[in-house]
């Protein structure tokens, strides 16, 4: 497959690693001009160097409202205007409700949830003016299943899940021709799992794999394929819903 996104511009946050990197590369492969943003601009540059061309790189902290204005202006000014927004950047520090500090709680919500508000708030006018498009918000199975050691993360990702539906409803009422959906990955083999890997070694991965009917954790490219589907016209009647990409974990 290739060329499904020809002539479109996609802004992908957290594009320097893991799911964001795989998504940026796949959307570019599908013909989109990708604006690859990350708080770590060097990492986003590495992603772009693997794309062999059509990618713009921006240093962008998704919890910073001003940075969002600049990122959206850059994407809207790119050929074709902004029509795809992938809110992917996230952090997942472990803490139970008793362990979590107020500062830690707020930071997880800033990066994982406030970012989705800021991104959609900033991008909607540009997307609507350009004739519409698709918003894909990366949530998690942590929005659908409680995990004791991810109190703030579960809370923030559940927020992403539901705010996505309000965006779809709002855009429908305004006639913007913008679809909004959330993606809910299960455990995926990316650097976000490194703290556990460093602490527990392969056991950290094996324990996750055992809980998955397919018997393994996922690959970032498998999530990217779902994002590309939602970004493209292949999903033209899919709106305000959630796509769970978890090898069957939530089937239980």
Q: Which residues of this chain interact with ligand NAD, rule CB under 6 A?
A: 13-14, 16-20, 38-40, 43, 60-63, 88-92, 111, 138, 140, 185, 187-188, 190-193
* Integer Cα distance of 186 and 142 in angstroms: 8
- Considering the complex, state which of residue 19 and residue 124 has its C-beta at the smaller distance from ligand NAD: 19
Question: Cβ 43 to ligand NAD, closest distance in Å?
Answer: 5
Distance of closest approach, residue 98 Cβ to ligand NAD, in angstroms: 22
Q: Which of 60/179 has CB closer to ligand NAD? A: 60
Nearer to ligand NAD, 176 or 228 (CB): 228
Q: How far is the CB of 17 from ligand NAD (least distance, A)?
A: 3
**Residue 153 annotated as catalytic:** yes
CA dihedral 109, 115, 118, 119 (to 10 degrees): -160
DSSP assignment of the chain:
---TTTT-EEEETTTTSHHHHHHHHHHHHTTPEEEEEESSHHHHHHHHHTTTSSEEEEE--TT-HHHHHHHHHHHHTSTT-EEEEEE-------B-TTT--HHHHHHHHIIIIIHHHHHHHHHHHHHHHTT-EEEEEE--GGGTS--TTBHHHHHHHHHHHHHHHHHHHHHHHHT--EEEEEEEE-SBSSGGGHHHHHHHTHHHHHHHHHTSTTSS-B-HHHHHHHHHHHHSGGGTT--S-EEEESTTGGG-
Q: Residue 164 corresponds to which tokens in the numbers above?
A: 């996505």
Nearer Cβ to ligand NAD (46/80): 46
Closest of 228, 185, 244, 125 to residue 193, by C-alpha: 185
CB of 18 to ligand NAD, least distance (A): 2
In the bound state with ligand NAD, the residue whose beta carbon lies nearer, of 45 and 80, is 45
Q: How far is the CB of 202 from ligand NAD (least distance, A)?
A: 16
Rounded Cα gap, residues 11 and 120, in angstroms: 11
Q: Which one is catalytic: 117, 150, 153, 176?
A: 153
Task: Work out how close the CB of 62 gets to ligand NAD at its nearest, in angstroms, rounded to a whole number.
Answer: 4
Q: Which residue, 191 or 201, has its beta carbon nearer to ligand NAD?
A: 191
Catalytic residues: 153
């Amino acid at each position: 497959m290739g060329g499904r996104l020809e002539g479109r511009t996609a802004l992908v946050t957290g594009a320097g690693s893991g799911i964001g990197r795989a998504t940026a590369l796949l959307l570019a492969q599908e013909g989109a001009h990708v604006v690859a943003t990350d708080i770590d601009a060097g990492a986003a540059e590495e992603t772009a160097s693997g794309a062999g061309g059509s990618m713009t790189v921006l240093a962008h902290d998704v919890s910073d409202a001003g940075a969002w204005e600049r990122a959206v202006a850059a994407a809207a000014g790119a050929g074709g205007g902004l029509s795809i927004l992938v809110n992917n950047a996230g952090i997942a520090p472990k803490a139970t409700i008793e362990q979590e500090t107020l500062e830690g709680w707020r930071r997880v919500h800033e990066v994982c949830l406030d970012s989705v508000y800021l991104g959609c708030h900033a991008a909607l006018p540009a997307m609507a003016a350009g004739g519409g498009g698709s918003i894909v918000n990366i949530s998690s199975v942590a929005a659908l299943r409680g995990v004791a050691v991810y109190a703030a993360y579960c809370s923030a990702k559940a927020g992403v899940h539901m705010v996505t539906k309000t965006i779809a409803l709002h855009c429908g009422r305004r006639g913007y021709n913008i679809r909004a959906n959330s993606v809910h990955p299960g455990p995926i083999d990316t650097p976000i799992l490194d703290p556990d890997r460093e602490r527990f070694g392969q056991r950290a991965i094996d324990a996750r794999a055992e809980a998955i009917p397919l018997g393994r954790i996922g690959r970032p490219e498998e999530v990217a394929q779902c994002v590309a589907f939602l970004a493209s016209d292949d999903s033209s009647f899919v709106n305000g819903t959630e796509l769970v990409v978890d090898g069957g974990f939530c089937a239980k």
